[in-house]
Structure 1
Amino acid sequence: MRKPALLACLSLAALITTPAFAQDIKLASNVPYTEDNEISDAIKAECSLGNKLADSIKRHDGSVVLVDGVPDTASGRVLQLEIVDSVNMGNAFMGRQTYTKIKGSLWQDGARVAGFKARRNSMGGAFAGFKGACSVLGRTVEKLGEDVGGWLKSPKDGAALGD
């Protein structure tokens, strides 16, 4: 009699841990910049990197739910993110140095599960000389969103994502 009960429990456990039953991950719809950042005011005012990053992560991981404000890590699953740095230097003739750096951690009911740091670089791609700074920086946060979406499927503490 014990075997069928044990199998039922194992089957239920397997069902609950499948992606269809996975708990949503709350993420701020506008990822904030770190408090002591040195990002130019023009980038912060014009590029909407926080919104673009959150949207990209949501597209790459369907369990992410965007919420207004910074979600409380005390209950449920929460992805806490910050944009650490974002730089656009140079031009089409001399070459560009463009990158965005982020850091984040996944929380479950008030306990930190894992964290990461990530950076993506871009030279602008084809026709870079005709693209503005926000367009090129947008490419970096799109790729970071893809990186974070992949990390959420199997979070590893101390991971270094991106370039």
Structure 2
Amino acid sequence: MRAAVAALLCCATPVMAAEIHVQDPVPFNESAIIAENIKAECRMGAQLATALGKNAPAHGNTLVFSSDPVNTGSGHALKLELVEAQSAGNAFTGHFKSAAVRGVLFENGQQVATVTARRVSRGGAFAGFKGSCDVLERTVNAIGNDLAIWLAKPVDGARLGDL
């Protein structure tokens, strides 16, 4: 009997993952104080969307990206904004970079959960050979993974990463 149940479970079709709509690139929050050179030179919003899209399927979700702001009124939508990006130091003196994102998950117009994620990086291996944008993109790659894990079991008011 156990063998029959195990065979059925291993061959069963998985439940269809939720389709969650997300804006790509993730925008900067209008009131965030972020240096203009970071906004102009670094691809943080696009990198965050890419990292989230890469990691979400492993946690049971399918993301649908649009360049337009997400419609929070129907279906599942994750509204994300970059709220912080700091770029201190450099390849010679040592990097100290950080980024933070806030998000709200909606289902059919109703707010389901909020999340804040922040990551700090000193550049990792071979940091002396990396530019500032490369190190900032490391932070949003980590945030993308954090958010993908959170989306599998969203908890309201979650604080992820280095918070």
What TM-score, normalized by structure 2, do the two folds share?
A: 0.85
Q: Does 1:140 align with 2:135?
A: no
List runs of 5+ in structure 2 lacking aligned partners.
1-11
| Displacement after TM superposition at 1:37 (Å) | 1.4
| Displacement after TM superposition at 1:91 (Å) | 2.6
**8 Å contact from structure 1 (residues 98, 121) kept in 2:** yes
Q: Return the index of the structure with the highest Cα Rg.
A: 1
RMSD: 1.6
What count of residue pairs does the alignment treat as equivalent?
Answer: 147
The match for 2:18 is 23
Moved more, 126-135 or 106-115: 126-135
Cα offsets for 1:21-70 (capped at 9, x unmatched): 23300000110111111111111111111111011101111211111211
Give the one of 51, 59, 72 matched to 1:56.
51
**Aligned partners of 1:32, 1:144: CA distance in 2, in Å?**
15
Identity of aligned residues (%): 44
The match for 1:76 is 75
The match for 2:42 is 47
List runs of 5+ in structure 1 lacking aligned partners.
1-14
Question: Runs (4+) of structure 1 moved beyond 6 Å?
Answer: none
Moved more, 152-161 or 57-66: 57-66
Moved more, 60-69 or 88-97: 88-97
Instruction: Kindly provide the amino acid, as one letter, of the partner of residue 137 in structure 1.
Output: L
**Aligned partners of 1:92, 1:50: CA distance in 2, in Å?**
23
**Aligned partners of 1:147, 1:130: CA distance in 2, in Å?**
26
Q: Does 1:152 align with 2:147?
A: no
**8 Å contact from structure 2 (residues 96, 123) kept in 1:** no
Instruction: Kindly provide the amino acid, as one letter, of the partner of residue 16 in structure 2.
Output: F
What TM-score, normalized by structure 1, do the two folds share?
A: 0.85
**8 Å contact from structure 1 (residues 30, 69) kept in 2:** no
Instruction: Kindly provide the amino acid, as one letter, of the partner of residue 50 in structure 2.
Output: D
- Look up the SS of the partner of 1:24 in the other structure: strand
**Aligned partners of 1:107, 1:122: CA distance in 2, in Å?**
30
Instruction: Kindly provide the amino acid, as one letter, of the partner of residue 146 in structure 1.
Output: N
Instruction: Kindly provide the amino acid, as one letter, of the partner of residue 109 in structure 1.
Output: N
